[in-house]
Structure 1
Amino acid sequence: MNIKFALAISFLVSTISVCGQTYITNVTVLDVEKQKLITHQTIEITDDVISNIKKSSALNIPKDAVIIDGTNKYVVPGLVDSHIHFFQNGGLYTRPDAIDLQKYWSYTDEIALAKLEMETTLKRYLKHGITTLIDVGATYNFLEQRKSYSDKAYAPEILMTGPLLTTYEPEVYSNLGKDEPFILTQTIEDGINGVKAQLPYSPDFIKIWYIAGRDGLSIEASAQKNLPIIKAIIDEAHKHHLKVAVHAVQQVTAKLAVEHGADFLVHSIKDELLSPEFVTLLKTNKTVLSPTLQVHGAYRNTFGQRLEMSNYELAESDPYQLGSLLDLKHLSDTILIENYKTRTNTAKSIADLKKADAISMANLKILSDAGVLIATGTDAGNIGTLHASSYLKELQLMQDSGMNNWQILQASTINGAKIFDKENEFGTVSIGKKANLLLLDANPIDAIENLTAIHSVINKGTVFTPNELLPDTPADLAQRQLNAYNFRNIEAFLEPYADDVEVYTFPNTLKYKGKATMREIYGNMFKNIPNLHCELEGRIIKGNTVIDKERVQVGDKIKEAIAIYHIENNKIQKVYFVK
């Protein structure tokens, strides 16, 4: 069978086209604005719009309609990630200004990979119920590329700015043409022209990187020095009916930006607790803030080699980008790597991170209690903050700050729509709004983690089954178990294997059979052997077989190994180790 034809058939099976009408019957609707559950509802979807919502007993369903039984299920609006970057992949090599590892993987290749993987990244977001993405710092190439997904049912809606306008640009990003993520603006005229240069690419908004202190001045003096440029950019953007997002992580820069018209702050303030006057300013101006609570720590924990990943992240992340985060354990430039590790693991560095995180969390509580508009955003794409799978962790951190689950759900739906005054288009389960919905098997008000208990995702009126939207490849399974091995996580390690897995010494000597025996062997290994790490040196993929050449550190010994994985029914069924 032709491969492309087979893939097309597989994709059609995993979706339900709603040319006509689809009904979700007898479902509980979560009203995120009124914070209440509405039981026994039937939702009518016509094409890509919610056309009716009524008590199940009051709505007649045509015989030829598509019906989804919503009994004991919950429907919520599609989620919004209000802060991502498509030009960054989330792995170790994606920010050469933070750590330059181009001797191993060039930034040119990293950019090419981001563009190549955009479709997969979009499907990964949709699989996790995220139907709207706000890219707050892109490139001209991504502004053009996103157009090809505007009519694709598997693609979330994308709201995107062009390159970040900034008074400071890392040298590694200069002279990249349409792949350059920054426009250097050192004068008022530069700022105005930076806005105008983006207009032919039809951005949805403008983004400012308000970086203070890089010029040798104090934070406040630097912020004041650059303020005329910031104001000129905001004024020019508003003249063209474009809103402005601002990266500002100090209270002084954030306050100056909001006073001069910023519409959207894309990070927490982490240098000091917010003053009542600033909180009032945000509320009065209806400025939206996206906290991005995890991103700072993800950098530090990656560089310090103290990164931790949950079972959910190990199962749901892009396995290759996640795996790259542990490459610092085997890359050859040991002096560079040890310097990063030492610097980020000093008592002062760890204390500074804890202090900044504590301030960010306290400020989020202050803002949410005051009624300031909070929009969930991950800053995904940065090192250690992986696309789509990082969303749950962000929700959990918001909960740790003191926000309740209704507030978090509002931040993840309707407040994201309000950033661009699109609350009449999406963000609630309401008649006339876009049919971008999540059908859940459990109530997220009981536990915010239930937002991952996804039965179906409805996007642009099409119903998707998550696991069939982005099925695992044989290489994905092999990589996932490798990642879990390196994290010493026995449950995540066993997940890709079949219950009756068979493990052989090549070519045909059976060593043992069954996941229970594997659990005992590897569980003891993870607990008792120090310096356990597996480096993938090469991989061959042939159909359902994956052949990995590995360099394994076991205590003080280094072993070369070849592992052959045979996949059946989307699980690793047989493993052969070549001595």
Structure 2
Amino acid sequence: MKSIHISLVALMSFTSLMAQTYITNTTIVDVENQKLIPNQTVTITDDLISNIQSNKKVKLPENAIIVDGTGKYLIPGLTDAHIHFFQNGGLYTRPDVIDLRDYSSYETEIELAKKDMEQKLLRYLKQGITNVIDVGANFNFLEQRNYIVKEDGLPSVFMTGPLLTTYQPKVYENLGNDKPFILTTTIEDGINGVRQQLPYKTDFIKIWYIAGADGLSVEASARKNLPIVKAIIDEAHKNNLKVAVHATQRITAQLAVENGADFLVHHIDDEILNDDFVKLMKKNKTIMIPTLIVSSGYNNTFAQTLSFSAHELQHADPYQLGSLLDLKHLSDTTLVNNYKNRSIAQSARNKTSDSIAMANTKILADAGVLLATGTDAGNIGTLHASSYLAELQAMQQSGMSTWQILTASTLNGAKILDKQHEFGTVSTGKKANLVLLNANPVENIDNIINIDRVINNGVVIEPEELLKDSPADLAQRQLNAYNLRDIDAFLEPYAEDVEIYIFPDQLRAKGKEAMRAMYTPMFANTPNLHCELVNRIVQGNTVIDQESVQVGSQVVEAIAVYHIEDGKIKKVYFIQ
């Protein structure tokens, strides 16, 4: 997505706010005091909330821009407090976890991540996420961030540079300014690692506190590397930078907090937390980002047990989502089967870890420890923007209340970098980063995606205008749903009166219901059903896919020609 596209969207799709904007007769969701305030009118001047008062007291100027909030709920803009722009969320994004460079070069993946940054941000904004925190980037992304933040039509971006770590996977060596890690094996390395990031105006520092990779026990390894961790934290604080720490074991988390870590970017999944740890977190005012869904993204991808909600199938990057299903057809079956068997064998351990993480999230939330919502998006199986709802649902499954989740997703996200005076609540004087919902999110957290308008930097946005499906997007979305055997998601990109032909003119079916009758039994009864996209040609509103389709024990080679009209697939021709 090129910058010129952003400018066109800003000119054509956003409501100009040269005058004041009034959101009238709405219910404000007060996350700070955990209450609903009905019948309110919010005035926006430029990019700030300039006034909030009862609807009865407001006299609207004749030329005012008015957004009718009747029956709707106004929440602060959401924050995803843990993402990674250098990772795309698909199968090929972490060669240190599964090395598939024989199928797709990592250099190609890096270039795609840089090229796709603006489109990722539009996906976030479409979901009401007006602030993102990249908890581990690189020097190139820091430079890219510095000019992207000037775009009014995009979410705010806060970013660290490369992760400071005592362990670096070999695949990430020799990447220059694309490297996501700085190896710190001495105290001097740690201090220099902080100083290297200062010229790039990093928003904070991140430590990857990996214990046990050196062959020692977890605790022995953690204590061995503690002087380096402490030196990094001290140097960052000297330069007025907060420090985030990746620490998933209780001992690494405890040592990090004791030595000044400002926020922990993952849950703890190796033991149930005791009162002493909880008191430590509260005393030090350390924030935790649970990231409850990221491990399941890996496990379900490798075990080939993926399933997606209708929301993700419609709003995720369709190409990254589709890549997660590629294990069904990669030629290295030994590698694929090893990962599949390993993931299945680890399922019992994974369930235990997930249960501990859920229990610890509840313990911390109930004790009043500040929790912030973050997805760890960009990792394999955790897709940018569309995974946010699944994270909220996981937080609810842990026992957090909807108010706790809403606060974690707004105000607490702002508190991570001391931005709570700028955004995070619907309050006079704060930035007009808001989301107008069609239903009450306190009653049902799923209503967070039932969005009427997004207000970003005072600009009122129709979310559906932010990113429209291209013809190739529609073809890819129906292909993804086909491979997942999801009949409703499969039919969604098609027009109600779609026509299906055997080339050149043999009509096989007309209308969605006829397609439903044709494909439902196929999805239910066909073993080993999988379609591999071999090649794709896009010409205007026509998409031509060369496909290799596994049907039971047979492989069928086919050409599918999709004709798109008015944003839906209108006609399909199959050539066999």
2:497 matches 1:500: yes
> Match of 2:119?
120
Task: Describe how 1:251-270 pairs up with structure 2 within 5 A.
Answer: 251-270=250-269
| One of 513, 523, 527 as aligned partner of 2:524 | 527
Which residue of the other structure, out of 371, 378, 381, is the alignment partner of 2:375? 378
Query: Whole-Å Cα distance in 2 between the matches of residues 151 and 192 of structure 1?
Result: 31
Contact 1:375–1:412 (CA<8 Å) still a contact in 2? yes
* Structure-1 residue corresponding to 2:465: 468
What amino acid is the match of 2:387?
Answer: S
| DSSP-derived class of the 1:75 partner | strand
| 1:365-408 CA-partner distances (Å, limit 9, x unpaired) | 00000000000000000000000000000000000000010000
Q: Distance in 1 between matches of 2:89 and 2:574?
A: 32
Q: Deviations over 1:483-535 (max 9, x none)?
A: 00000000100000011101111122222200001011111100011100000
Alignment check: 8 A CA contact 1:11 1:469 kept: no
Q: How many residues align?
A: 575
Q: Distance in 2 between matches of 1:82 and 1:433?
A: 19
Q: 1: distance between equivalents of 2:238 and 2:60?
A: 49
8 Å contact kept, 1:122–1:154: no
Q: What residue identity is the alignment partner of 1:232?
A: A
Distance 1:578 1:63 in 2: 60
Q: Which of 378, 385, 388 does residue 388 from structure 1 map onto?
A: 385
Residues in 1 aligned to 2:9 and 2:216: alpha-carbon distance in whole angstroms: 59
Gaps of 5+ in 2: none
1:11–1:156 Cα change, 3 Å:
closer
Paired with 2:18 and 2:157, the residues of 1 have a C-alpha distance of 23
Q: Is the 8 A contact 2:317 2:384 kept in 1?
A: yes
**In 2, distance between residues paired with 1:182 and 1:413?**
29
Distance change (3 Å), C-alpha of 1:255 and 1:344: same
Secondary structure in 2 matching 1:540:
strand
> Who is 2:506 aligned against?
509
Q: Which moved more, 1:226-235 or 1:294-303?
A: 294-303
Q: What SS does the aligned partner of 2:62 have?
A: coil
Cα drift, residue 301 of structure 1: 1.2
Q: Give SS of 1:252's match.
A: helix
CA distance in 1, matches of 2:566, 2:61: 37
Cα distance in 1 for partners of 2:151, 2:308 equals 32
Stretch moving more, 168-177 or 5-14: 5-14
Q: CA deviation at 1:153?
A: 2.4
Q: CA RMSD in A?
A: 1.3
Q: Which amino acid aligns with 2:572?
A: V
Q: 1:401 aligns with which of 383, 398, 401?
A: 398
TM-superposed CA distance for 1:286, in Å, is: 0.6
1:488 has 2:462 as partner: no
**Equivalent residue for 2:181?**
182
Q: Return the match for 2:430 from 430, 433, 436.
A: 433
Equivalent residue letter for 1:84 = I
Tell me how far 1:154 sits from its aligned partner.
Answer: 2.3
Please say which of residues 556-565 and 308-317 is displaced more in the overlay. Answer: 308-317
Structure 1 SS opposite 2:363: helix
Secondary structure of the residue aligned to 1:245 is strand
Mapping 1:108-187, distance limit 5 Å: 108-187=107-186
Preserved contact between residue 9 and residue 466 of structure 2 (Cα < 8 Å): no
Structure 1 residue 300, shift from structure 2 partner: 1.3
AA aligned opposite 1:546:
V
Seen in structure 2, the aligned counterparts of structure 1 residues 8 and 419 have a Cα distance that, compared at 3 Å, is: closer
- The more displaced of 453-462 and 145-154 is 145-154
Question: Which SS does the other structure have where 2:24 is aligned?
Answer: strand
CA contact (8 A) 1:11 1:468 kept: no
Q: Paired residue for 1:450?
A: 447
Q: Can you list the C-alpha shifts for 1:57-103, whole angstroms capped at 9, x where unaligned?
A: 21122212211111111100000000000000000000000000001
Distance 1:161 1:480, change over 3 A: same
Pick aligned residue for 1:415 from 404, 412, 417? 412
In 2, the alpha carbon distance for the partners of 1:375 and 1:10 equals 31
**Structure 1 residue 7 displacement after superposition:** 8.8
Q: Residues of 2 paired with 1:10 and 1:141: CA distance?
A: 26
Q: What is the distance in 2 between the residues matched to 1:217 and 1:244? A: 25
Matches of 2:157 and 2:252 in 1, distance apart? Answer: 28
With 337-346 and 541-550 compared, the bigger mean Cα shift is at 337-346
Letter of the 1:422 partner, please give it.
K
Are residues 1:192 and 2:161 paired?
A: no
CA distance in structure 1 between the partners assigned to 2:191 and 2:247 by the alignment: 20
Amino acid at match of 2:533: L
Whole-angstrom distance in 2 between the partners of 1:304 and 1:511: 36
- Cα distance change on mapping 1:4 and 1:390 into 2, 3 Å: closer
Aligned amino acid, residue 516 of structure 2: R
* Separation in 1, partners of 2:141, 2:382: 20
Q: Which amino acid aligns with 1:51?
A: S
1:520-555, Cα deviation, whole Å (9 max, x unpaired): 111110001110000000000011110000000011
* Residue identity in the other structure for 2:328: K
- Aligned equivalents of 2:489, 2:207: Cα separation in 1: 40
Q: Paired residue for 2:82?
A: 83
Deviation for aligned residue 1:150:
1.2
Distance 1:405 1:514, change over 3 A: same
Normalised to the residue count of structure 1, the TM-score between the two structures is 0.98
* Distance change in 2, residues 1:10/1:289 (3 Å): closer
Cα displacement (A) at 1:6: 9.6
The alpha-carbon deviation at position 20 of structure 1 amounts to 2.7
Matching of residues 185-264 of structure 1 within 5 Å: 185-264=184-263
Name the amino acid aligned to 1:188: I
Say which SS state the counterpart of residue 67 (structure 2) adopts.
strand
Distance, in Å, in 2 between the alignment partners of 1:209 and 1:5 is 36
SS at match of 2:420: coil
Give runs of ≥4 in structure 1 deviating > 2 Å.
Answer: 3-13
Match of 2:343 in 1: 344
CA deviation string 1:115-135 (max 9, x = no partner): 000010000000000000000
CA deviation map 1:295-333 (0-9, x unaligned)? 111111111111111111111100000000000000111
Aligned to 1:301: 300
Q: What residue number does 1:36 align with? A: 35
Q: 2:354 is matched with which residue?
A: 357
Look up the equivalent residue of 1:91 and give its one-letter code.
G
